[in-house]
């Protein structure tokens, strides 16, 4: 019984991530044009989180009460919004080239608007 549990744990924590890594390395987009599949997954995962975070920050008006020299409170949210918008631009351009899957600017509309609004308020 103990060996079966050890085997299951080894599969889950050692072998499965190795296969995922090999799949990611073998992705054709890693060698040429296009957006890797893993990047699309990560973008799809963070998009609703970015939207919720940015909308919450806007609703709380966090930057209005921050001291001027408080860099984490005033600049990091703006950079997060800018980097998210830049990270959405590449999949959008790739979608315009291939028309494969869901259009990023449609899927990420709420996060794009929230990031834009947060950038203006920071």
Residue partners of 94: CB distance under 8 A and separation at least 6:
34, 35
pLDDT in tens, 40-77: 999 999 999 999 999 998 888 877 777 777 777 778 88
Domain ranges across the chain:
1-32, 34-121
pLDDT grade for 121, boundaries at 50, 70 and 90: low
* Predicted pLDDT at 115: 92
C-alpha to C-alpha distance for 53 and 82, rounded to whole angstroms: 14
């Amino acid at each position: 019984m103990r060996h079966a549990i050890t085997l299951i744990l080894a599969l889950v924590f050692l072998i499965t991530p190795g296969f995922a890594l090999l799949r990611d390395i073998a992705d054709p987009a890693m060698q040429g044009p296009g957006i890797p599949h893993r990047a699309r997954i990560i973008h799809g995962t963070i998009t609703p989180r970015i939207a919720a975070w940015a909308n919450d920050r806007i609703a709380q008006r966090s930057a209005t009460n921050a001291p001027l020299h408080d860099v984490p409170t005033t600049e990091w949210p703006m950079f997060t919004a800018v980097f998210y918008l830049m990270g959405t631009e590449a999949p959008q351009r790739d979608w315009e080239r291939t028309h494969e899957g869901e259009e990023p600017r449609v899927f990420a509309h709420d996060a794009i608007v929230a990031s834009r609004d947060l950038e203006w308020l920071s």
